[in-house]
Structure formats: C-alpha cells, structure tokens
A and B are shown apart, each in its own frame.
Chain A
Amino acid sequence: MKRRHLEDLNRDIRDHIEEETQDNMARGMAPDEARQAALRKFGNILRVQEDTRDVWDIVWLEQLLQDVRYGLRVLRRNPAFSAIVILTLALGIGVNTAVFSVVNAVMIRPLSYPNPDRLVAYVEGASNSKAVKSGISGADFAEWRANARSFDGMASYFYTDGILASAGDAGQVRLASLAGDFWAITGARAALGTLFAPDTAPGSIVLSHQLFERRFAGDSSIVGKSMILDARPVTVTGVLAPDFEFLFPQNRPDVESGGIDAYVSSGPLLRSSRQRVFVAARLKPLVAIGSALTELQTLEGRVLQTYPDRWFAGVERMRLVPLQERLVGSVRRALIILQVAGMFVLLIACINVANLLLARASVRQREIAIRSAIGAGAVRVIRQFLTEGMVLALLGGATGLVLARLAVSMMASLGSETVPRLPETRIDPRVLGFTLAISVLSGVVFSLGPAISLYRTNLQYALKDRVGEPFLGWRGLQIRRTLVAFELALAIVLLTGAGLMIKSFLYMYANPPGFSPEHTLLLKVSLAGPEYAVKPRQVSYLNELVRRIASVPGVEAAGIYKTDLLLVQSKDNTRPPIVDSFRENLVSPGYFGAIGMRLVKGRRITEADPPDATVINETMAKRAFGDANPIGQRIERLGRQIRVAGVAADLKYSKLDADPAPEIFRAYPQNLGPGRVTMTLVLRVIGDPLGIAPAARRLISDIDPAQPVYSIETLQKALSRSITPRRFNLYLLGAFAAASLLMAIIGIYGVIAYSVAQRTREIGIRMALGAQRGEVVRMVVKQGMAIALSGIAAGVAAALGLTRFMASLLYGVRPDDTPTFVLVALVLAVAALLASWGPALKAAVVDPLIALRYE
C-alpha cells in the first residue's frame, strides 16, 4: 500500500515543477528564471519527500531502524570509544540495579504470607520508630487471643535451642516454640504429615524442609517417629513445605532470617510458667491498626488489674506495627542511602559519557552540518543523537545487568545473616523494568545535551574546514568544565560518606591492650540429659572440662561464662533506677584472664567467695557510684544486696557498635540457677585458634560423648558478625566512592587533555614567543585545579548538608567530622593535580614548529 503510493511521488514532484515552470514561462519569464522560480516556490524537495513518507506512519519506525543501524555503525567504527562508554554506563547502571534488587526484595516485595499487608507485630516503645521488640507474658497473650475481636488470628512464638536426638545421633537445633494461629496466619502447608493443631500439648515437632533434607536426608519415613528433644520424647508430626520461610523479627544475631530448624508447640501458656512470648497477628479486613491496638490496650489494662506485672512496660507503650515494617525498618535508611549513592555513581557515569560525546561532537559537527544543509530537520538530527545515545544506554544497561547479577550474589553472601530477606534477592521483572527505566533515562540525560549544543552549531563555521575552532571550542569546553566540577562534587559527597564510615569502623575495632579477639576461641556447650539435671553433676562436669582443656597445648588460659540480660524496674516512680538493664555474667575464675579483661580495682572472685561477691565493670561503677570508690559498696540486684569486690575495665566483646553496657560478674558455681545449663567456654590460644578446635572437640567428647559442642568460632568472628549490616553498608558505599573517584579523575583528565589538544596552536605560539616549559605546565595545571577546587568546594558544602542523614550509620564519629572532610578534599585535590599533570607535561613538550603547522 505504502510502496504503491510512494513510488511515483518523485514523478509527481517533477511534473509539478515542470507545470509551474511552464506557467512561469507563460507569464513571460525566461526559461532559466522560470525554472528557478518554480523550484523556489516548491521548497526543499528532499524535505517534501521525507514529510510525505512520514504520512505513512510506519516511517518513524523505519527512520528509527535507520538511526539504530547508523548508530551501531558509528559505534563499530570507534570500538575503543564505544567500549569505554558502555563499560562506564554498565558500572553506573549495574550498581543501581544491584541495590534496587535488594530494595525490591527487602522493602517492596510483599512477604510470602497470605494478606501480608494485614500482618502486624507487637512491640513496645515510646513511639513506633523507637519501639523494641519485647515479649509479653504468655498468659497475657492467651487472654488477648481469647478476647480480641480485631484479629483473624494471633500467634505467639519464642526461640530456644535444643538438642534433638534420634537413633544414634544428636545435634543442636534452633527451635521456635509456637502457640495460637501461627500456621493459619503464615499460610504454612506441610510437605509431609501434618502441622500440629494450635494449643496442642507439647510433644509434637514439625521440621523445616531444610533440616529434613540436611539431617534426615529427605527420608519421609521419619514422619510419626519419636525422637528425644532435650531429654523429653517428641513425635515428628510433619515436615514443612520447602518454600516456607520464617520471617519474623529475631533479636538474636546468630539466628539467620529463616534459620529456624524446627517448630514445637508451646502448650498452654500458664501464668505459673512465667514464659514471655513475642506476638504477631493478622488484622481482620477493614480493621485499622490503631483501633486494634486500642482494643489490646483495653484488654491488657484489665489483665493488669488482676495480675500486676512488674516487668510490663505499661499500656501506653504498647505498639502494633506492620510486620514488613518491623522486619525491614532497621535497614530501610541504609538502603535508601545506598540507592541515592548509587544514583550519584550513575550521574557521574552519565557526566563522563556526556563529556566523551561532547568531545567527539566536535569531530561530528561537519557531518551534522551537512545533514542539516541537505534538509534534515532539527527534530530529525536530535532524534538521531538520542537514538545513538539510547543504543549506547541499552547496551550499557544490558552489560550492567550482567554486573548486577554478580553483585547480587556477592551482596547476598555479605549480609545474609543480618539483613532480613536478603537471600530472596532476585532479578525479577520489576528489577528489569527499573534497569530499563534508568538506562533510558541516562540515555536521554547524556545525549540530549550534546545533541542540542550541536544543532545550534553555526552551519557556516562547521562547513568550513576548520574543525572545532571557536564554535564548540569555547562553549563546549565551558559546559564540560562545569560538568566535571559537578562530577567532582558528587565524588566528594560519596567519598566523605565512605570516609566517615571507615572512621567509624576504626573506632569500633579499637581494642584495649590485652584483648585480642583474633586469638580467642568461643565454644558453646549445653548440658542435656537426665544425669545432668542436678547442680553438683553440672558443676563437676564443667570444672573437669575447664581443667582438662586448659592443659591442651596451645591454650594459654581457659574460662567459662554464661550471660543474662537483666532488666531493672523501679519499684516506685519517685526515683529512676541507676540503669535500665545490665548484663549479668556468671564466670569461672579463669574467665578474666582468658578473655583479656583487666581488673582496675579490687580483686577477682573465686570459688571460695561468698555468693554475693561481685565484680562490676567501669560503666556500672560510674553509673552506680560516680567517682566514689565502689570497692566494698553494695548494689541491689533484683531485691537482694550484692557486694562489690572488684572493678573490671570496660570491654566491647559482644557488640562492636554499641557503647559498653553496664555489667556485673559473679562466681558461677555459687550462683548457678536450676534448669538446663548452656555455657560458653573461652580459650585464649597461641597461634591459630581454630587450629586447636579439633583437639578441644575430641577432648569434650572424651569426657562425655552425649554432650555435643556446638558453635565453635573465634571471638573475632562473633564480634564482626555483630556489625554485619554496617560492614555491608561500608563495602557498598566504599565501592561506590572508589568508582566515583576513578570516574571523576578520568573526567578531569579527559577535559584537560582535550583542552590542551585544542590549544596546541596557541601553546606553540606562546612558546615561539618565549614562554618557558614551566610556565606552560603551570598554566595547564592551574586550569585543571580551578575546575577541581570549585568542584571540591561545592562537594564539601553538599556533603556537609547530606552526611547528617547517615548519622545512624556512624559510630563515634560526628557526621561533620572535620578531619574526614579535610582528608577527602585533600585526596581529591591531589588526584586532580595528578590528573592534570599528565596533559600539562604533554603540552610542555609541544614543538612550536609542528604546533604552528597544526590545523
């Protein structure tokens, strides 16, 4: 259809002009004149042909294909240029895709439970943002569940560790103890057997599919079998479907998200058991979270009248938050910061590409001028540039996607332990859409500028053979300088952010003398079985263990401890407690030496001490006694008096990114409570601590093979795990900053080198007139530094404004830490100096004779 209509267009036009010529001659014009007038009146023939073809709508597609083909040809002709542009873009797009795929998995994608938007978690705190997860009395939960009408289902859960023994082997399992409608609100299904009904009596266990595969090799005959869990018989009722994930908040860093091995029933939650539980629930449709909370507060108020609970925070501190929010709230800010940082990197990449295109534009100005002269409209020329830019951007995006895939698997291994849902990160359609969008957007950003500046080129200048003289020379270079300064400013912001985080890490890892986590080994032992139910038996086992393990070659010191976090309640409201909570450690005498804790005052405690003899740490001493000498003083602990025998130096050995907590240390055998005993063995080792792990393990199994050791790791590892999310942020931000620094240096080098090339003639004249080499070098370097300094000044100002948003990611460093700012500015200034030095030296060796001939 189109072809048929278009094939005789040329003949039509020819006829038309012919007729017009005839008419003009009839009016008395000479033949030549008549023809000229006819042509003039008709207008631009090529343009008419193109416009007519445009009518047949498929034409835009045809032109697009033409532009794409042309663009690809241009790219193939300059493989090095194309490769640099594509790789630069791939880097920028890749980091954004990678970060976005994490954002998508963690923040955007709904939880894999039915009606995830109606799932809420119970927390306590003065406000939602300050809320901490805290347990309520299990009996209170039972009251809530029986009476609350705002919910479709309510579940409680708490975590325990247990030893699961079956025919001949025993192993540590991580358990969630469930009550209420847990299966219903999570939509859990059994792959084998059944899930125990809510509120069944204890004695049922459901295995996660992962444990089923790992421990039992997927043997389906285990369903219905009996096993021993912590010396009590349990029956395996079922195995969960492989896709079930446990996605509830856990405040234990050693339990990975989804890392629950098995589920047991809590049984009836009686007031006498004093068990505290965490609560999650599903709201009924159309019930607002606020009204559900009000109902719970009313219920709890009534419960408290009958059963006063001195551990309860108070009705007004009760909170309900969406489960998703609760899970990812803590990492949201970090992810947003990373995404913004990623955008900075992409912007820098776009600026570099725009710079390259501008530099190349001076080579192409003749081509554009010729195209315009033979009738290409403004839109057509700009479209050609946009298409070429788009081709580059899409190739960059595709390469970026490959990079992102690599980055995603790297990130998943970096932060899987503490960034919730991180292992779920995938490149799904939403991520692909994001990548496409940012690719197209960057294509527009980096190609529109050059296209417009080129089109405004003076045709006359361009058509003359003097490529690149005044036209794009000045204005183009001016644009490029501004862009490079902007790029440097962005790099400063990223580098400052990374610098502040590195400094935080230095603070976190600053260890006092005597404390060497890399030479300290932690082994957890848990005494299970009826023969260890009594205290004398437990103590003699542990004493034997410490005595024997201290004699293993390579072990310098051995100790044993057990930590509990105790909350302090003020009995009346007249006087606030000295501390809200403190850590109570039951320790053996060897503990201080093994962990490397110095005693500042007084003495250690031994088995010979009375049970109330206590060592406190400096933080506790300061809070309780100020500057007074604490030795011999008394402290109230849960209503009983204890006596201070010594003061130990503060030591950060559980969380690197927190200030030392108030702690007390008491002798373990004297104060060991009833029930199962789980203790940690601390060994100070010469050489590689993990080297002696096999010997230690063998020795423990020699004493009693039924008592397994679990979790052997160095203190170093345990410590660094406590800051996994921070490390995750640091690595990413650091990588972004490094990439931006590199690109900024390339940018400034490019612009200076280009301006030197353009000024070769001028430099030649200067030298012919007697300018010294040193002067030429100084002139070029000065030019580079002018750009750098304006960029650095702008960047420092921007960083001052922006870094305060990352205050929560820092430790021990203020967001406006002057040394970091100065250092970063210096690093960039030196880098810029070096980057302009190269072109400057090149300028200095210009031979005036050659330069003057250079056209």
Chain B
Amino acid sequence: MSTREKDRIELLQGTLDLLVLRTLLPGRAHGHAIAKAIECNSEDVLQVEQGSLYPALHRLIKRGWISAEEGTSENNRRAKYYRLTTKGRKQLMVETTKWEKLARAVACILTPAAREGDL
C-alpha cells in the first residue's frame, strides 16, 4: 500500500468535475461509488481526496450538469443518486474535447517525436 501511495497523482485543478461527469455517463451512482469508480478506472493512479468530491458534486448540481435523486442502494438503504443531465452530457463533450486538446499539446511539448509521427 505504502509504495503505491507514492505512485498516486493529485488531481489537476478542475479535472475532478470532468471525471465525475464521465463516471456518470453510463448511469446514476451515489457518492462513494463515484469516488471508487474514479480510483479503480485510473488503475489507482488518481487519488480523489474524497472530501473534495462533495463540493464538486454540488458545484455540478448548481450548474445544472447533474441532478440528484433519492434511491435505494444494493443493501436496501436510502441513498442519494447523481445522474447526468442533457446539459451535462453536452458539457462532457466540450470538456473532453478541451482535455484532449490540452493533453495533445502537453504531449507535443514533452515528446517532440510524437508530433513528427503525426505529420
């Protein structure tokens, strides 16, 4: 565990919103599931400070990108579920494109060979 802690990367400012939106694309989920999904799908590289998840969720609700609803969890407990809205779906597209552009740009600078390969 301790060796793996070192490999973890803190999230860039603002990327948590994008990850949450992406995580909710297949369907609704509750808070803990979202945090877990982000960690698992990033092969445990990305460390979500779980505390920062809730402010992020509320920020997204306020912008109208996700909505919250009551539901029942697997173990039959009432829980709050978050779901992507139509507006959120569009936003995800926008954010994803933006992210890819950024990632490519950073990659171009870090490994010039990649750019030559593209050409």
Q: Is the CB of A16 within 8 A of B55?
A: no
Q: Is the CB of A56 within 8 A of B58?
A: yes
Contacting residues of chain A (452-509) with chain B, CB-CB under 8 angstroms:
none
Q: In the docked arrangement, what's the CA distance between A16 and B79, Å?
A: 10
Q: Is the CB of A54 within 8 A of B55?
A: yes
> Does A298 count as interface, using CB distance less than 8 angstroms?
no
> What residues of chain B lie closer than 8 Å to A23, measured between beta carbons?
36
- Chain B: minimal CB distance from A722 (Å): 70
Which of A5, A16, A19 interacts with B58 by CB under 8 Å? A5
Contact flag A15-B61 (CB < 8 Å), given A5-B68, A51-B52:
no
Q: B48-63: contact bitstring with A at CB < 8 Å (1 yes, 0 no)? A: 0111101100110110
Q: In the docked arrangement, what's the CA distance between A196 and B77, Å?
A: 95
Q: In the docked arrangement, what's the CA distance between A371 and B116, Å?
A: 56
Total interface residues on B, CB under 8 Å, equals: 21
Q: Is the CB of B36 within 8 A of A51?
A: no
- Chain B: minimal CB distance from A773 (Å): 60
Contact flag A52-B58 (CB < 8 Å), given A12-B80, A19-B32, A20-B32:
yes
> Does A225 count as interface, using CB distance less than 8 angstroms?
no
- Chain B: minimal CB distance from A40 (Å): 10
Closest to B33 in A: A19
Contacting residues of chain B (60-119) with chain A, CB-CB under 8 angstroms:
61-62, 68, 73, 77, 79-80
> Does B28 count as interface, using CB distance less than 8 angstroms?
no
Q: B31-53: contact bitstring with A at CB < 8 Å (1 yes, 0 no)? A: 11101100000000000011110
Q: Is the CB of A47 within 8 A of B50?
A: no
Q: Is the CB of A42 within 8 A of B62?
A: no
Q: Is the CB of B31 within 8 A of A41?
A: no
Q: Is the CB of A5 within 8 A of B54?
A: no
Q: In the docked arrangement, what's the CA distance between A15 and B62, Å?
A: 22
> What residues of chain A lie closer than 8 Å to B51, measured between beta carbons?
42-45, 47-48, 51
Closest to B56 in A: A55
Q: Is the CB of B50 within 8 A of A16?
A: yes
Closest to B32 in A: A19
Q: In the docked arrangement, what's the CA distance between A9 and B52, Å?
A: 13
> What residues of chain A lie closer than 8 Å to B54, measured between beta carbons?
9, 12-13, 48, 51-52
Total interface residues on A, CB under 8 Å, equals: 25
> Does A169 count as interface, using CB distance less than 8 angstroms?
no
Q: Is the CB of A43 within 8 A of B50?
A: yes
Q: In the docked arrangement, what's the CA distance between A44 and B55, Å?
A: 13
> Does A219 count as interface, using CB distance less than 8 angstroms?
no
Closest to B70 in A: A8
Q: Is the CB of B55 within 8 A of A55?
A: yes
Q: Is the CB of B32 within 8 A of A15?
A: yes
Q: Is the CB of A55 within 8 A of B59?
A: yes
Q: A1-39: contact bitstring with B at CB < 8 Å (1 yes, 0 no)? A: 000011011011101100110010000000000000000
> What residues of chain A lie closer than 8 Å to B77, measured between beta carbons?
15
- Chain B: minimal CB distance from A58 (Å): 11
Q: In the docked arrangement, what's the CA distance between A51 and B57, Å?
A: 11
Q: Is the CB of B61 within 8 A of A5?
A: yes
- Chain B: minimal CB distance from A166 (Å): 79
Closest to B78 in A: A11
> What residues of chain B lie closer than 8 Å to A48, measured between beta carbons?
51-52, 54-55
Q: In the docked arrangement, what's the CA distance between A11 and B59, Å?
A: 18
Which of A8, A20, A55 interacts with B80 by CB under 8 Å? A8
Q: A39-71: contact bitstring with B at CB < 8 Å (1 yes, 0 no)? A: 001111101100110111100000000000000
Q: In the docked arrangement, what's the CA distance between A645 and B55, Å?
A: 101
Q: Is the CB of A51 within 8 A of B55?
A: yes
Q: In the docked arrangement, what's the CA distance between A19 and B33, Å?
A: 9
Q: Is the CB of B50 within 8 A of A15?
A: no
Which of A5, A15, A20, A56 interacts with B79 by CB under 8 Å? A15
Q: Can you list the 4 inter-chain pairs with the closest CB atoms, starting with the nearest?
A: A43-B51, A19-B32, A55-B58, A48-B51
A-B contact pairs, 18 of them (CB 8 A): A5-B68, A6-B58, A9-B54, A15-B32, A15-B79, A16-B31, A19-B32, A20-B32, A43-B49, A43-B50, A48-B52, A48-B54, A51-B51, A51-B52, A51-B54, A52-B58, A55-B58, A56-B58
A42-B50, A43-B49, A52-B54 given; 9 more Cβ-contact pairs under 8 Å = A12-B30, A15-B31, A15-B77, A16-B35, A16-B50, A41-B50, A51-B54, A56-B62, A57-B62
